[in-house]
Amino acid sequence: MFSGSIVALITPFDSNGEVDFDSLNKLVEFHVESGTDGIVIVGTTGESATLTIEEHVKVVNKTVEFADGRIPVIAGTGANATHEAVTFSRLLNDSGIAGVLSVTPYYNKPTQEGLYQHYKAIAEVSEVPVILYNVPGRTAVDMKPETVARLAKIDNIVALKDATGDLERVALHRELCGKDFVLLSGDDATGLEFVRLGGDGVISVTNNVAAVDMATMFRLAAEGQWEEAEALNQKLMSLHKNLFIESSPIPVKWAAHRMGLIQNGHLRLPMTELTEENQPIVEKSMAEAGLL
């Protein structure tokens, strides 16, 4: 259902801090033309925590409109309050999205039972498939494989985005959740190896700027052409790493603006723009990846 190279899309803002829908349309066209396999909109890379509920819903609806059925759109519905995540999921049921991606509640540090109940509540109201999202480096909670396995038994919970970088979990998740449960990497630097070990694809930050190479790399991997895929991955490795030289999406927004994909690299506070000292580092990685 979900596989290959999926972009964790940035949300562009104009100079007044409002959502820049012209740039958003341009980004969607860029990914359609580049062969990207899917778009995650208003996920954590899309600065979802800084959007109002009204903005959140409008950005999803406009992305679906711009995509016009040419590329699947997955909506971020993550929140650290279960009722808010449930509200997002319910409001987006009729939007035309292919699924929802919901991050583990951040700051609260729920127990494993709390995580189970949180996602169960989302699944009960969602009329589209649900993708779990585990990124303990940002949320301060780690959803254990055994909890993922419990949740995988719920009919419309179909996938996991795993951003732990722990490649040993690929085989464990596959064993516990079954062959049909979709496993997606959320860690660009280890994404290709994740797929080699039995994963289905990646939800990627790098894909925002290196969309063609990312799509080609995971298509080659699906065809078993690992040597060619690895060569592309090595070309992008510096970019994979340096797009996280400051908190994401700070570097990738700067890079997207540097490429002319968005009008500016503005972020909403408390995120600030890429520091001058790190700009040459990201630029050098972009050059090595053939983006400049």
Give catalytic residue positions.
Answer: 133, 161
Q: In angstroms, rounded to a whole number, what is the distance separating the alpha carbons of residues 164 and 143?
A: 10
Residue 235 contacts by C-beta under 8 Å, 6 or more apart in sequence? 213, 288, 289, 290
- Is 10 labeled as ligand-binding? no
CB 237 within 8 A of CB 189: yes
Task: Name the burial class of residue 15, with classes exposed (0-12), middle (13-18) and buried (19+) by CB atoms within 10 angstroms of its CB.
Answer: exposed
What does residue 41 show for φ and ψ, rounded to 5 degrees?
Answer: -110, 150
- Is 154 labeled as ligand-binding? no
Q: Binding site: what residues are annotated?
A: 45, 203
Q: Binding site for pyruvate: what residues are annotated?
A: 45, 203
